[in-house]
Chain A
């Protein structure tokens, strides 16, 4: 028995003094260098509410791009907001044509595995026609090479017919 009693035991080992350079007279923590590591598994699933933004995602499923317009100051936010932070007025939904201009983009040759995207992966910031602020999403179908992507090029919202893990993935950008 002994350590075998611990079902999730991974290892017991002796750690070095990481600040030996600071301790010329010896390790002050010498009594505490025997270290145990155990495995601790946690698994969560959230029942996530998309709240007052939900209509955006519902309309994406209808292949429509909607955002919000402030009825007071007239500002159209690229990413919808129920409350206009510029004037604290409650906004209204407004459909946009889904066309726009590429303001900046980044090409990633390495992405964390959780992202489930193909490499190279292109993240784009787009000034949508009819909006006053930008919108961020992936740029796809730009051709054989990322060299085809140019700052200022015309892009459009495209919709997928495939099943997706999150409603945001119902859309992406493509060259117009």
Chain B
């Protein structure tokens, strides 16, 4: 793989997120997308009539009982008759949408693209039905029927990780404490909370080693980002000269077998996210990241469950396999640490409206690199790069994107 046109670069002009909450009874996906898009337009100083293309990001057709919802989002924001495409990769959908913007702009299919993502996470159906819908995102003949569900799948991975490396429940709990705490400085977050490791350890056991507070919640919400070439931005973005210039410099994607059972045994077996390792390597190579711990200032990591974030540190190359728990204990990933992660609060603290999540990660990295985040969650800029990791299934789809500030 080689990026041929090095002159043609892709910039992040602006972003917006709606409020994330357990149930947004004030509207539906289309309304939340409108909110996020209005903020992204204002943030970027662009007008929708100038933007040439859009990408739709949402995961489930069941929750909102609306097929082809992207057509509605696209027409609601005045994009017709311009082109639109939908991407889908479970929890990784938003990261894939960012990657899609890169591909379309780089290929010359358009000079500017707005991406928008949302999810109605099922408070409209009983919790039991919502769980069934989510279970449909694993193999319906071979996993759902044996009463597999996501917490149990991830627990299988974590139990194996604990057995091999000695990773501890308390180390998982530290992730929950950090992400809920970071969310306290994000007014759009679903679940800000000041809690202790004991609170996590004492919360209701669901599937060992996961307690209630180790899990993210289902959230309603939306997010949007606007990308363009420099030439387009100079012409159409009123804020191009006013705000720091942020470039999308790297994008990678990796996959793995849908079913954990089919993954190459015994290595990596069920211990690691192989697709994430592949996607990260691709993105780092493009962005010139050699040592991610030093060459990045912040990273939004997919933390659907605390252990997923911990194992992801290893697969994203922040440390060697088995070392993530110890680094977490040292505070490496806290705000003020060497590589602060999930400064937005992540899925656990900010929320997880699936199709919006990966895009919201991008909005957070944009805010961090522009030094616009709340002072209590703003990171120090050294490398002037930030990363994001969007992940679907049990690492079935992984999309890794890197933004860099150009001063």
Contacts and interface: CB of A to CB of B under 8 A. Distances in A.
A is bound by B: yes
Rank and list the top 6 A-B pairs by shortest CB-CB distance, nearest first. Answer: A106-B155, A112-B131, A15-B26, A168-B145, A134-B261, A108-B207
Nearest to A122: B152
23 contacts: A15-B25, A16-B26, A18-B24, A32-B26, A35-B26, A79-B262, A103-B269, A104-B159, A104-B160, A105-B159, A108-B151, A112-B128, A112-B131, A115-B149, A123-B153, A133-B263, A134-B260, A136-B148, A138-B146, A138-B147, A151-B159, A168-B141, A168-B142
Nearest to B126: A113
A138 B157 CA distance: 16
B156 interface: yes
Given A79-B259, A110-B207, A104 B156 contact: yes
Q: Which of A29, A35, A113, A114 gathers the greatest number of chain B CB atoms within 10 Å?
A: A114
Given A123-B146, A168-B142, A168-B145, A110 B206 contact: yes
A17 to B, nearest CB: 8
A117 B159 CA distance: 21
Given A106-B207, A125-B270, A79 B147 contact: no
Interface of A: 13, 15-19, 21-22, 29, 32-33, 35, 37, 40, 42, 50, 53, 77-79, 103-117, 121, 123, 125, 127, 132-138, 151, 166, 168-169, 172
A135 B259 CA distance: 9
Nearest to B142: A79
Contacts of A136: 142-143, 146, 148, 156, 259-261
Q: Which of B18, B135, B208, B261 gathers the greatest number of chain A CB atoms within 10 Å?
A: B261
Contacts of A121: 147, 152
Per DSSP, chain A at the interface is mixed
B295 interface: no
Interface of B: 18-19, 21, 24-27, 35, 65, 127-129, 131-132, 135, 141-143, 145-149, 151-153, 155-157, 159-160, 163, 187-188, 204-208, 259-265, 269-270
Nearest to A113: B128
Contacts of B206: 108-110
A110 B186 CA distance: 31
Nearest to B206: A110
A108 B65 CA distance: 30
Contacts of A78: 261-262
A172 B270 CA distance: 20
A17 B261 CA distance: 46
A84 B142 CA distance: 17
B156 A106 contact: yes
B335 to A, nearest CB: 21
Contacts of A18: 19, 21, 24, 26
A15 B110 CA distance: 39
A105 B207 contact: no
B226 to A, nearest CB: 19
A23 B18 CA distance: 13
Contacts of B152: 106, 108, 121, 123
A103 B26 contact: no
A113 B126 CA distance: 11
B208 A106 contact: yes
B190 to A, nearest CB: 11
Contacts of B146: 123, 136-138, 168-169, 172
Given A110-B204, A113-B128, A105 B141 contact: no
Contact of B260 (A13, A108, A125, A151): A125
B167 to A, nearest CB: 13
Contact of B148 (A35, A107, A123, A169): A123
